[in-house]
Amino acid sequence: MARRKKTADPTLAALPEGLIDQLAAGVKTPADFQQVYRAFQKALTEKVLQAELTHHLGYPEGAGRTPTGNARNGTTPKRITTDTGTLDLAIPRDRHSTFTPQFVPKGVRRLPGFDESVLALYARGLTTRELQGYLEERYQVPVSPDLISTVTNEVMEEVTTWQRRPLEPVYLAVVFDALRVKIRGEGVVQNKAVHLALGVLPDGTKEVLGLWIAQTEGASFWHRVFSELRTRGVQDILIAMMDGLVGLPDALAAVFPQATVHQCVVHLVRQSLQYVGWKERKAVAADLRAIYQAPSEPAALAALEHVRTQWGARFPQIAPIWERAWDRLTPSLLYPLEVRRVLYTTNAIESLNSYLRKPLRTRGHFPSDDAATKLLYLVLRTLGKKWKQRPAKEWQRAIPHLQLLFGDRFPMAV
């Protein structure tokens, strides 16, 4: 087999021949490398700034002045923070003070790489104090908590844009769930719910539609959420998946009357089995499976009656759990098993919540709703880069059935 020919790195090819050898000649330790790299970074940055000034003045250095009499006028020292440390630069000036650098803008003390490093570490759950210690150790310069807050607060504008962005007109399913956070308000730490909506697109891929923080939930709260989704472009939701969120079904019916609400079966099974000992758990789970895998609603009712007869004396709590959720459970009985399997569980959003809980564990509480939103958004932004994935296989298998079941409401052929 012929060996694949190695291709040259285009970045290295663009450098003058022998330059890398010259730079590496004195490098023997990591400290030597850092010194050479920082010197090269400083020289290159100042060269770019000089080139910007040349373009601004319209003539190269040493070639005289412009007709307006403007000319180079020395430099101004400026210290900036980059993703590799601090740089002491000589920023060129012009005599008329009309030069505005673009590479290192006026008023900027941090280059984007530094801010991205701070945001990435913040999204991993580091507290401000931990971030301060890490950054001071790495960059060998004092980093105040105010600087960290400034960097992280700048993301709030991005959060607002994300929360208001236009959405797709139709979603096959939207999964709703909540997790709890502690937020200080009026001198008291309160438990609040962060509600998340995860949408499934017609090709089976997923996207987070938004997050909302509220101390209490109910029909009025969910009506605001659904009205916001409607305003952002959502015209139809085929299936809404949930687990006991108060007021959601009524609000959904008001804003998206054609949507069908489905109960998460896995949550019903978990709630039921918490009353059952290990010896009987397998047998009870098998009888519960006969309910949600029944071929029809009458067969499901017969299976529920069997559970009541077989286990009601020992575990009287089980049957009422299923009865209370019956109206949200029976719609799935109209679907074939390929569709039911994707409606059994809200695992997709529970997996999302597990990512969000990791950084939350390091925080006792947040000073405000914005502080909690900021952290959760940064986690979602980081996770979103990993979510550029193929559609989930279980949704791909269900899509042909959904096309037939929903007809014209299904937005596209896959």
Chain segment 194-250, per-residue pLDDT in tens: 888 988 888 778 888 999 988 777 888 999 999 999 999 999 999 888 877 788 888
Q: Which residue has the higher pLDDT, 123 or 191?
A: 191
pLDDT, greater one: 220 or 151: 220
pLDDT confidence tier of residue 321, bands split at 50, 70 and 90: very high
Domain assignment present for 15: no
pLDDT in the model for residue 171:
92
Note whether 336 and 215 are same-domain residues: no
Query: For residues 205 and 317, which has the higher predicted lDDT (pLDDT)?
Result: 317
HSE at residue 359, side-chain half, CA atoms within 13 A, is: 27
pLDDT of residue 353: 76
Q: Which residue has the higher pLDDT, 168 or 339?
A: 168
Percent of the chain at pLDDT above 90? 19
Residue 247's nearest CA partner among 229, 227, 220, 225 is 220
% pLDDT > 70, the chain: 75
- Whether residue 293 has pLDDT greater than 80: yes
pLDDT at 139: 59
| CA–CA gap between residue 176 and residue 384 (Å, rounded) | 18
What is the structure's pLDDT at 225? 92
* Same-domain check for residues 182 and 208: yes
Work out the average pLDDT over 261-285. 89
CB neighbours of residue 10 within 10 Å: 7
Distance between the two ends of the chain, CA-based, in angstroms?
A: 40
Residue 17 forms part of a structural domain: no
388 confidence band (pLDDT: 50, 70, 90): low
pLDDT of amino acid 282: 93
CB count within 10 Å of CB 44 equals 10
| Claim to verify: residue 55 and residue 82 sit in the same structural domain | yes
Q: Is the pLDDT of residue 389 over 60?
A: no
Instruction: Say which range, 108-122, 150-164, 294-308, 362-376, has the weakest mean pLDDT.
Output: 108-122
Average pLDDT, the chain: 79
Distance CA 298, CA 193 (A): 37
Instruction: Check residue 127 and give left, alpha or beta (phi > 0: left; psi -120 to 50: alpha).
Output: beta
Same domain membership, residue 251 and residue 183? yes
Of the three residues 154, 183, 211, the one that is the final residue of a domain is 154
* For residue 22, pLDDT beyond 60: yes
Across 142-151, 183-192, 199-208, least confident range: 142-151
Top mean-pLDDT range of 128-132, 135-139, 336-340: 336-340
Is residue 275 located within the same domain as residue 338? yes
Q: Are residues 250 and 174 in the same domain?
A: yes
Which amino acid is located at 239 in the chain? I
- Report whether pLDDT(288) > 80: yes
Q: Measuring CA to CA, which residue among 181, 191, 156 is closest to residue 357?
A: 181
175 and 254 belong to one structural domain: yes
Q: Is residue 70 part of a domain?
A: yes
Whether 244 and 382 map to the same domain: the answer is yes
Residue-range definition of the domain harbouring residue 252:
169-263+351-407
Please give the pLDDT value at position 141. 59
In this model, does residue 11 exceed pLDDT 60? no
Task: Determine, yes or no, domain membership for 81.
Answer: yes
The answer to the question of residue 20 being in a domain is no
**Is residue 18 pLDDT above 60, yes or no?**
yes
Of 223, 221, 196, 222, give the one whose Cα is nearest residue 350.
196
376 lies in some domain = yes
Predicted TM-score of the model (pTM): 0.65
- The residue with greater pLDDT, 77 or 397, is 77
How many distinct structural domains can be found in the chain? 4
pLDDT digits (tens, 9 = 90+) for 335-374: 887 788 777 665 667 777 777 887 777 777 788 888 888 8
| Domain termination site, one of 128, 154, 180 | 154
What pLDDT does 315 receive? 93
Q: In sequence order, what DSSP letters do the residues of 159-224 get, joined into one string?
A: HHHHHH----SEEEEEEEEEEEEEEEETTEEEEEEEEEEEEE-TTS-EEEEEEEEESS-SHHHHHH
Does the structure show a pLDDT above 60 at 1? no
Q: Mark whether 79 and 225 lie in a shared domain.
A: no
* Encoded amino acid at 352, one letter: L
pLDDT at 312 over 50: yes
pLDDT of residue 413: 45
Query: Does residue 226 contact residue 252 with C-beta atoms inside 8 Å?
Result: yes
Condensed to tens digits (0 to 9), the pLDDT of residues 62-121 reads: 666 666 778 888 888 887 776 666 778 888 888 888 888 766 777 666 655 566 666 776
Domain at 252, CATH number:
3.30.420.10
Instruction: Among 324, 344, 364, identify where a domain stops.
Output: 344
306/281 same-domain check: yes
pLDDT at residue 12, as a whole number: 45
Whether 34 and 104 map to the same domain: the answer is yes
Is residue 1 assigned to a domain?
Answer: no
One domain for residues 243 and 304: no
In a domain, 147, yes or no: yes
